[in-house]
Structure 1
Amino acid sequence: MADEGSFRKEWLRPFFFYGNNWISLLGGAITTASAMVLVGFWIVSIFGHGGSSNPYLGIIFELILPGVFVAGLVTILIGILTRRSYLVATDQVPSFFPEISIHDPIFRHGLDFVVIATLINFVIVGTACYRGVAYMDTVSFCGTTCHVMLPENTAYHISSHAGVACTQCHVAPGTAGYIHAKVNGTKQLLEVVFHNYPAPIMAANKLPAASTTCLGCHDPASSIGDKLRISSAYADDEANSPTSSLTMLHVGGKDSFGRLSGIHGAHMGKIEYISTDSSNQTISWVGKTESDGSLTEFTSGDPKAAATGQRRTMDCIDCHNTVGHAFTTPEDALNKDMALGSPAVTLPFVHKEGLALLKENYGSPELAQAKITAKLITFYRSQYPAVWNSQQSQVNAAAKTLVKIYNSNIFPDMKVGWGTHPNNIGHTNSPGCFRCHDGSHNAGNAKTITNDCSACHNLLVSGELHPKLLSDLGLQ
């Protein structure tokens, strides 16, 4: 009891006496309010996460709020030292410090100040945190706050998933996914602050399993059957001669009788693979677990050599890897926009000239816009003055389209160029399907992963001018 009395007399009384100033009282209110918000957040995290799953929550709750808490403590100390220095300098330090009592009007007024200021700060800090969390759940925050995300944000807005929030694909549900997202978000913040982020940013092997994200909206087991794909291309001649190709894709799935068919059906079940590169473009080993539980192993190269590397379970993203961020090739992008009307096919050699301009290196979006526009206008002014005079608006529109294509796919600062992000659907512009279906992945029992094209699609028309089949289908 003597020790307790000594502690109250020698430490608590001076602390409360010197701390009874507006600076320390404000610091106490700040510390208390931030502590209340932090404790509330921890309780929600432990007993049931029902709020935001944004990966950048760690910025607020692991960095900012603890910083505010410490700042409040420092403010208390500054107030105490300031008042003590003043009282010592003016010889106003009392011979004994007053008793800590609620009946002391000075102490009571200080306590009232702390309570009121704490409530006000709690509302302010809590509201600010809520608004901050709500903002961090938006695509705008994920895509524009950090300049390093410019390529992904640009591609996202022209992808088929442009209406899906970033967190729905990049954050797995549940406590484990939530904690991982917070830690990862804080790590990414530090990488940006210290300029230690990767360029380009590659998402392979970093996304949650499709079973926790994609399958919330999609059902790969549903029977889709066949889909007709029509693509247009333009030649590099003066007339930009258009051709069409028709492909019947056997998407398949599982029918009402449980029968598997097509592309989706062939890849259901447990399939594992080992890749020798970080972007999963070179696959050296494939393992398929059969219906009886046995494992069939396919290797590329020496079948006796043991496969080394991390085994990964194949899921949607291994093929649909650019579904949320649509990067393309200059040929595909130009053909698609020409089919939509700009650049206009009436402009001589616009396909050839457009491709040449898209494949040049400009160094920045601003230079790309200036040089693409100037060079295309110069070409038509010098080579086709009559076309320039009669179709000036079409030339300007073509230049804008080429600039849009270039600046949607090329980001020099992040080292993103044509082909940096390969598309694993198909096998025209990158290995894609041929990563496994190349005829060289063999099993010990003489089985080979098929490279029979008809197993996945039939090419009905290839590069024909005005194909009759399109007319027969009423599509031309």
Structure 2
Amino acid sequence: MPNLSSFRASWLRPFLFYGNNWLSLLGGAVTTASAMVLVGFWVVGFFGRSGSANPYLGILFDLILPGVFVAGLVLILVGILVRRSYLLSTDQVPAFFPEISLNDPIFRRGIDFVVIATLINFIIVGTASYRGVAYMDTVSFCGATCHVMTPEFTAYHISSHSNVACTECHVAPGTAGYIHAKVNGTKQLMMVLVHDYPKPIMANNKVPVASSTCLNCHSPEQFVGDKIAIQTSFADDETNSKTSSLTVLHVGGRDAFGGLSGIHGAHMGKIEYIATDTTNQTIPWVAKTNADSSVTEFLADGTKSRPTGAKRLMDCMDCHNRAAHSFDTPENALNKDMAQGSPSASLPFVHKEGLALITAKYVSREDAKVRITADFVTFYRSQYPAIWNTQRPQIDAAAKTLVNIYSSNVFPSMNVKWGTHPNNIGHNDSPGCFRCHDGNHASKAAVSITNDCATCHNLVFTDELHPKLLADLGIAKAN
């Protein structure tokens, strides 16, 4: 075995001799510990029992830990080079390198150091990996770590997706999605550190496509049929006159026989569009792929040809754009809370006064809290002293509700005002459906995108006092 003997004498013995220093031994321990964690993860992943869809696992185990492994190897090499240089400069390099033997106390101490350091590093690396992944999977990491995300974090908690982790919607699956999310997050962190971040923060088409996020839980092809939507409104008169509206929404979908109908059914094909603004509110060009694979292009009035810009494939989030970060209009927010009992409709002019207070301009949310409460209390104490004396609990509760409405929707420090974030469901509060269904988008054959109201809904009654139909349905009392 001359080759093996030569290798031991020329390479292995010098390597172990020069490597017997604290820096190289530490590097060996780091490399071994990270390798053990990686191998354990690969074994678990191979047998398909990882049990976690955390998107940061890919970053940790595919990028960070391999980096730690390589860093340990670099430490070993640096330690060897430093010791070799020192011994050469002091003329302490032995003529013959020591035999590799457990009988050598120096060699044994080196092994003991590596074993102990490896176990310690394994515990540290493994625990840190687990705790790091667990923390990065929390909503607080995404929303509360950075103050500039306060509007989104606040709106998230009152949305229909408040039980869904941020990473489920904002990080696309796969390593590329994880890297993109972290690179984008790093850029945002740098902007925050130098106080050069946008106000307000807008999504600007940075959210992954619905097919990789929304469709993990939802199915647009599921047949929903029709849904009843009841809206309660209050007037600005002294008695806060209550009216109701009932709309039948034709949500539709794909029925048991494969037929498409309703809102979902009409948009289930391949529809592309080009928007001329970053929030996709102005859409001058739309193209629909028909059943025979032909394409029909629609241009808005005044648009001569297809505009320049990125062509987007329409998906769920083009309509459901505020599914997880819901900002309301002042009227809707106040009406919904009044319908639930606070502010109490028994307080005269509470709708008019409340609306005026929550739409006023304030320097900060703290300023709004003080002034809304003070002005609301002053109004009833000065204008309706009898109400002030008999309904003080209702007045206090109403003031608190008004502050909550304002604080959930307006953030002066981030330039988030009423209407800053348009909601594309419907068309009452922002263009929404009318971005395309305005009757002004026509094809070369003079066929327009429909704006027939009955296509999407039927208005059974609107702003009706004491509607009998609601009483017949057992939803309200007839008066």
TM-score w.r.t. the length of structure 2 is 0.86
CA contact (8 A) 1:13 1:100 kept: no
Return the letter of the residue paired with 2:19: F
The equivalent of 2:180 in structure 1 is 183
Percent identity (aligned): 57
Return the letter of the residue paired with 2:101: I
Q: CA deviation at 1:276?
A: 0.7
CA contact (8 A) 2:18 2:80 kept: no
CA contact (8 A) 1:55 1:182 kept: no
Deviation per CA, 1:2-38: give whole Å up to 9, x if none.
x989975997476335x1x4x6644542354245546
Give the secondary-structure state (helix, strand or coil) at the position aligned to 1:207. Answer: coil
CA contact (8 A) 1:169 1:214 kept: yes
Q: CA deviation at 1:41?
A: 6.5
CA contact (8 A) 1:56 1:181 kept: no
The equivalent of 1:99 in structure 2 is 98
| Shift in alpha-carbon separation, 1:464–1:102, aligned structure 2, 3 A | same
The equivalent of 1:244 in structure 2 is 244
> Residue 200 in 1 paired to residue 203 in 2?
no
The equivalent of 1:438 in structure 2 is 438
| Shift in alpha-carbon separation, 1:114–1:71, aligned structure 2, 3 A | closer
What 5-or-longer segments of structure 2 have no aligned partner?
none
The equivalent of 1:217 in structure 2 is 217
Q: CA deviation at 1:413?
A: 2.9
CA contact (8 A) 1:274 1:307 kept: yes
Return the letter of the residue paired with 1:449: I
Return the letter of the residue paired with 1:416: V
| Shift in alpha-carbon separation, 1:71–1:12, aligned structure 2, 3 A | closer
CA contact (8 A) 1:37 1:122 kept: yes
Once residues 61 and 445 of structure 1 are traced to their aligned partners in structure 2, the CA distance between those partners, rounded to angstroms, is 54
1:363-442 matches, within 5 Å, as 363-442=363-442
CA contact (8 A) 1:14 1:97 kept: no
CA contact (8 A) 2:29 2:72 kept: no
Return the letter of the residue paired with 2:386: A
What 5-or-longer segments of structure 1 have no aligned partner?
none
Once residues 126 and 253 of structure 2 are traced to their aligned partners in structure 1, the CA distance between those partners, rounded to angstroms, is 49
1:129-144 matches, within 5 Å, as 129-144=129-144
1:4-19 matches, within 5 Å, as 12=15, 15-17=18-20, 19=21
TM-score w.r.t. the length of structure 1 is 0.86
Give the secondary-structure state (helix, strand or coil) at the position aligned to 1:269. Answer: coil
Return the letter of the residue paired with 1:15: Y
Return the letter of the residue paired with 2:55: N
Deviation per CA, 1:63-105: give whole Å up to 9, x if none.
69847974896699689979999x99xx996876852623321
| Shift in alpha-carbon separation, 1:416–1:58, aligned structure 2, 3 A | farther
Q: CA deviation at 1:127?
A: 1.8
CA contact (8 A) 1:369 1:403 kept: yes
Return the letter of the residue paired with 2:296: T
Once residues 316 and 203 of structure 1 are traced to their aligned partners in structure 2, the CA distance between those partners, rounded to angstroms, is 15
Once residues 9 and 473 of structure 1 are traced to their aligned partners in structure 2, the CA distance between those partners, rounded to angstroms, is 88
Q: CA deviation at 1:301?
A: 2.6
Q: Which moved more, 1:74-83 or 1:242-251?
A: 74-83
Give the secondary-structure state (helix, strand or coil) at the position aligned to 1:366. Answer: helix
Once residues 334 and 75 of structure 1 are traced to their aligned partners in structure 2, the CA distance between those partners, rounded to angstroms, is 66
- Superposed CA RMSD in Å reads 3.5
The equivalent of 1:54 in structure 2 is 55
Q: Which moved more, 1:436-445 or 1:68-77?
A: 68-77
The equivalent of 1:273 in structure 2 is 273
CA contact (8 A) 2:18 2:84 kept: no
